[in-house]
Amino acid sequence: MEPDRLADILCWREKRYVTQQLTVSYNRKMLILEPNDLSKKLPGKYVDTYQLADGRVASPLARQGAGAQGV
């Protein structure tokens, strides 16, 4: 099994709401999505977030080009 696939399996998964300002709250932090074609379709929808075993927060959106930065 690929190491990346194993990391996806062994994580905590939650759905989070994307605000009109392209932000997502997670673990008392605000993640700001980079505005692009993919992220501009997300306000008002829920996205999957993953907390990996090492404490990092990831999203399948990052793999598709919708990066995020923490605040």
Domain of residue 28: give its range.
3-70
CA distance 57 to 65: 16
Average pLDDT value for residue range 1-24: 83
Residues 43-68 pLDDT 10s: 999 998 888 888 888 766 655 545 55
DSSP 62: H
pTM: 0.69
CA distance 12 to 36: 27
CB 45 within 8 A of CB 23: no
CB 42 within 8 A of CB 22: yes
Domains: count for the chain: 1
